[in-house]
Amino acid sequence: MRILLSLILSLALALPLAAQTKVPQSQAEISLSFAPLVKEAAPAVVNIFANRVVQQAESPFRGNPMFQDMFRDLFQTRPRMQNSLGSGVILSEDGIVVSNYHVVGMATEIRVVLTDRREFEADILLADEDSDLAILKITSDAPLPHLDFRDSDEVEVGELALAIGNPFGIGQTVTSGIISGLARSGTATGNARGYFLQTDAAINPGNSGGALVDVNGKLIGVPTSILTRSGGSNGVGFAIPANLVARYVEQARAGNDSFVQPWAGIFGQAVDFSLAEGFGLTVPEGVVISSMHPVSPFAEAGLALGDIVLSVDGQAVNSPAEMLFRMSVRPVGDTIAVEYLSDGTIEQAEVALIEAPDTPARDARVIEDGPLAGLGVSNINPAVQSELRLPTSMDTGVVVTRLTGPLRRLGLRVGDVLDQINGLEIEGTGDVATAATMNTRRWRVDGVRGGQRFSYRFRI
């Protein structure tokens, strides 16, 4: 009887505590229920519906004088509306929303739906396909629920995390897990490239662009992709760290419609075990510089080919993607501290964060007439290198920037570097314009793609 009375008294004392609604502050509290945390964070996570107009594949006989009329009705090109579904996170009471580029990119109409069923039309402020991030803006007469950022550099493996989103379009769903990895790079699927947090909280199609939050309801990342064999969650999901998302929000508020990323002007590779032995390192660490642009800010700071970058801004770096991330979370115009190994000695340097220089002039041109009509070209400079992801060794010459019309069927691609057209050396875009005026039916285009030489021949 005494034991029963003691148990009833304990339960009675516990009931008022269980009825309280607040964000858990300790492991003991979080073990009771995630409900207070979800009530705090979920209203800031939204469903996103995006529509875009796409064109169906063109007829393979288009341009063929014999067959294009015969099969006109069979292969007629028609615009088609494509719908996408995903999630987003409100980041400010005035309506700044983050989502993934693959959810809203190129959309003609974006609709944001809150948990209380309010709906808003959204405009894209900034979109970046490479990072798979998009910053949106919605307008409301009343302040909107929103999540605060947490410093994602403070996140540790083993922390509890919740993923909130709209998987499979079934409505807002919450899954729990832990942070299972940091500094993941080169492993995400889709468009996103770079540095990610890894979690085993279930992330499924539709979770993209949602929230990964900690036990205090702060945003630590934006889920962007998964590794899967089945198409569903296998417990390996990736999120873009909050520190990088915050930088995108800052640039969007500043009026940028595309992300301005600091330019390194170097190409590096992770130091593996064999390289570590060659450099006399006891353990593999850092990024070795294998090529460098002459005006790279790293070169200006005193680094050289063969040096190993060990840390950036006080944080160890072990892959090029991690190094770029450390630069990207700092604004252009700042300087960062870099620790590097040079000839067996650890050195320190201050590296300026700059935009890729758009000099010498790119002199972009598009050929309007003749067999090369629709060919767009540009002189190579650091800005063009950065935009087209050309190797730093390709710092001169002429690159293909656009292809329309019949040339698309020739085999040329954007990013190809042109060497010769019909034997004429191509040293600038003016040479391409000159070659386009040649009075001949036989054409030959020579160039380099991905380090490999190519040659295309055709007749008109």
CA distances from 444 to 327, 369, 410, 457 (A): 42, 17, 11, 4
Rounded Cα distance between 41 and 178, Å, is 17
> How far is the first Cα of the chain from the last one, in angstroms, to the nearest whole number?
102
The secondary structure element, H or E, covering residue 3 is helix 2-19
Catalytic residues: 102, 132, 208
For 182, half-sphere exposure in the C-beta direction (CA atoms, 13 angstrom radius) is 15
Strands 335-342 and 345-352, by their bridges, are: antiparallel
**To which residue do tokens 């005494």 refer?**
2
Rounded Cα distance between 18 and 99, Å, is 35
Strands 424-425 and 417-421, by their bridges, are: antiparallel
Question: Is the CA virtual torsion 249, 252, 257, 258 positive or negative?
Answer: negative
40, 113 Cβ separation under 8 angstroms: no
Rounded Cα distance between 51 and 180, Å, is 34
Residue 316 sits at φ, ψ, to 5 deg, of: -60, 140
Burial 212-225 (b: 16+ CB within 10 A, else e): bbbbebbbbbbbbb
Burial 80-115 (b: 16+ CB within 10 A, else e): eeeebbbbbbbbbeebbbbbbbbbbbebeebbbbbe
52, 82 Cβ separation under 8 angstroms: yes
Closest residue by Cα to residue 238 from 175, 180, 289: 180
The CA-based angle 224-401-388, given to 5 degrees, is 40
CA gyration radius, the chain: 27
Give the type of residue at 323. M
Question: Could you tell me which residues are beta bridge partners of residue 27?
Answer: none
Paired tokens of 101:
């580029």
Paired tokens of 437:
């005026």
Q: Strand locations in 271-414, DSSP E?
A: 287-292, 308-312, 315-316, 335-342, 345-352, 365-366, 375-379, 398-403
